[in-house]
Amino acid sequence: MVEAAGIPTLCMTSALDITRAVNPPRAVFVNFPLGHQTGKPHQPELQRSIVRDALGAFETIARPGTIIELPYVWDANDRRWEETDYTANFLPPRPVKEDADTVEAERRARFTASAGK
Amino acid sequence: MPVDYIPRTRELYNAYSPYRWVENHDTPPWTPLKQPLAESKLALIGSGGVLYRDQPRFHREDASYRRIPRDAVQADLGVWHFGYRTTDAEADHNCVFPLTPLRELAAAGVIGEFADPAYSFMGGVYSARKVREELAPQIADELKRAHVDVFFLVPA
């Protein structure tokens, strides 16, 4: 929709089959577990490298619907995450509403209390 | 080997069937870049459920979005999402919402400008209609008004 409005778009993905189905104008695939599309935590050089390589696709993709695969590997010695990522019991149980509300209240209170400092 | 997430998602969500995937078979829309990336103003949107300070969290079926200041740091940010393991994103938002890399790439001249603010929503919206008719047009409107040249999407 943004692309149709005249702004070029580029979509990161770690789910190749989903992105093939959605078929965005430009996409870049990194084979990492969901939730790490732009890298591992606390690895700023890896994150910057992935984002820089991904953005390069703005200038290299010339055909709508192209997906470029970047060569990053999550763990060269252990690919077991591919067996378990996003399968049954993978997601933590959803918190009951009261618990979720408490967590939310605490999170927001942290900033309300520090406002003005 | 890339993981097949469509069958895994069907399995996880089989209580909510039928889960119909968005499939677009037509050639996607296409707008060529007007100028090199190094001269372009780039905006970021992420669907990882990132929140800034005391912004209200998302709720289920929530197609609203939050404006995240470009210069926000880790201590300013929270994550609310039920559809992926958020542990690493909570520890470092740059896993799914790369503010730091984009600030650095702007400073290094790889992109012309990193647009302020960045945009965040929670990708667990099961209504493609809501996204198409509510979320996307609002964002497109904001980007136009901010004279954004290119748009970088990071789903989570």
Contact between chains at B154 and A12 (C-beta distance less than 8 A):
yes
Q: What DSSP line would sit under B52-91, residue for residue?
A: ETTPPPP-TT----EEE-TT--GGGEEE--SSS--HHHHH
Q: Which residue has the higher pLDDT, B9 or B76?
A: B76
Amino acid residing at B129: R
Contact between chains at A87 and B1 (C-beta distance less than 8 A):
no
Q: Are the beta carbons of B147 and A5 closer than 8 angstroms?
A: no
Residue A113: band (very low, low, confident or very high) from pLDDT cuts 50, 70, 90: low
Per-residue pLDDT, averaged over A1-29, amounts to: 93
Distance (Å, rounded) from C-alpha A97 to C-alpha B29? 41
The tokens for A61 are 């993709």
Does A96 score more than 70 pLDDT?
A: yes
Q: SS3 of A79, please?
A: coil
The answer to whether the peptide bond before residue B32 is cis (omega within 30 degrees of 0) is no
Does A117 score more than 50 pLDDT?
A: no
Beta-sheet pairing, B150-154 with A9-13: parallel
Does A108 score more than 50 pLDDT?
A: yes
Q: Are the beta carbons of B65 and B119 closer than 8 angstroms?
A: yes
Q: What percent of chain A has pLDDT over 70?
A: 94
Q: How close A73 gets to chain B, by Cα (Å)?
A: 11
Q: Which of A58, A79, A111 sits opposite B37 (nearest CB)?
A: A58
Q: What is the pLDDT of residue B21?
A: 67
Domain boundaries, chain A: 11-91
CB-defined contacts A:B, below 8 A: 207
Q: What is the pLDDT of residue A53?
A: 98
Which residue spans within A45-111 are E strands per DSSP?
A: 66-69
Per-residue pLDDT, averaged over A55-68, amounts to: 96
Q: What is the pLDDT of residues B72-124, one digit of tens each?
A: 999 999 998 888 889 999 999 999 999 999 999 999 999 999 999 999 998 87
Which range has the worst mean pLDDT, A12-16, B15-19, B66-70? B15-19
Which range has the worst mean pLDDT, A15-29, A64-78, A100-114, B34-48? A100-114
Does A84 score more than 60 pLDDT?
A: yes
Q: What is the pLDDT of residues B44-67, one digit of tens each?
A: 999 999 999 999 998 877 889 999
Distance (Å, rounded) from C-alpha A15 to C-alpha B117? 27
Distance (Å, rounded) from C-alpha A81 to C-alpha A85? 6
Q: What percent of chain A has pLDDT over 90?
A: 61
Residues of chain A contacting residue B144, judged by C-beta atoms under 8 Å apart: 5-7
Q: What is the pLDDT of residue B62?
A: 86
Q: Which residue has the higher pLDDT, A83 or A57?
A: A57
Distance (Å, rounded) from C-alpha B95 to C-alpha A107? 20
Q: Is A76 exposed, middle or buried (0-12, 13-18, 19+ CB in 10 A)?
A: exposed
List of residues 6+ apart from A38 with CB closer than 8 A: A12, A30, A47, A50, A51, A54, B94, B95, B96, B97, B98, B101, B154
Does A114 score more than 70 pLDDT?
A: no
Average pLDDT in chain A: 89
Average pLDDT in chain B: 91
Q: SS3 of A69, please?
A: strand
